[in-house]
């Protein structure tokens, strides 16, 4: 929901990455036994938005200071991680992390991992466009909507009605 509101982002696909099994199911990932993290694969137009700008949204759209946790969701699949495709992306991600840490936007140190992308598989269909398809679900109301409001206020994403 967040990245679909960033000008220049062409698509966002939910998925799983970084684990030791091929094409795990959501249930397998949630078991904590596959080693995968829940991720968003973002396709963007670099003429409109830079990788660094996308990372800036990343640092503010979730809590990068907690290990294996996002809000009430706990487990290795909820770790904060950036997966890169090439050495240039790694350098940009490392520099972005250092800058975000120095900014003191978060009171605790950033623990986000930065790793080469391995074992990515797209999530099941019902995870795609989850917020837009389920805006009245409690998770969407209490977790996603406040993030959207915060990022819209900071002018990091576009205002957008479902």
**Domains and their CATH numbers in the chain:** 3-153 (3.30.1060.10)
pLDDT tens per residue, range 53-103: 999 999 988 999 999 998 888 999 999 999 999 999 999 999 999 999 999
pLDDT tens per residue, range 4-33: 889 999 999 999 999 999 999 999 999 999
CB 105 within 8 A of CB 137: no
**Token digits for 133?**
């398809």
Distance separating alpha carbons of residues 147 and 60, to the nearest angstrom = 9
What is the pLDDT at residue 153? 82
Q: Which residue has the tokens 């990068």?
A: 64
What is the pLDDT at residue 58? 94
CB 93 within 8 A of CB 39: no
pTM, two decimal places: 0.88
Tell me, rounded to whole angstroms, the distance of Cα 104 from its chain centroid: 20
């Amino acid at each position: 929901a967040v990245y679909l509101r960033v000008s220049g982002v062409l698509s966002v696909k939910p998925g799983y990455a970084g684990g030791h099994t091929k094409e795990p199911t959501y249930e397998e990932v949630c078991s904590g036994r596959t080693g995968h993290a829940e991720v968003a694969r973002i396709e963007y137009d670099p003429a409109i938005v830079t990788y660094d700008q996308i990372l800036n949204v990343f640092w503010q759209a979730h809590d990068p200071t907690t290990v294996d946790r996002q809000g009430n969701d706990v487990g290795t699949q909820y770790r904060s991680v950036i997966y890169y495709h090439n050495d240039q992306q790694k350098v940009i991600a490392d520099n972005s992390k250092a800058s975000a840490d120095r900014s003191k936007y978060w009171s605790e140190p950033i623990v986000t991992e930065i790793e080469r992308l391995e074992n990515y598989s797209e999530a099941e269909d019902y995870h795609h466009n989850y917020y837009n398809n389920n805006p009245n679900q409690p998770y969407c109301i209490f977790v996603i909507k406040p993030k959207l409001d915060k990022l819209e206020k900071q002018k990091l994403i576009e205002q957008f009605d479902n």
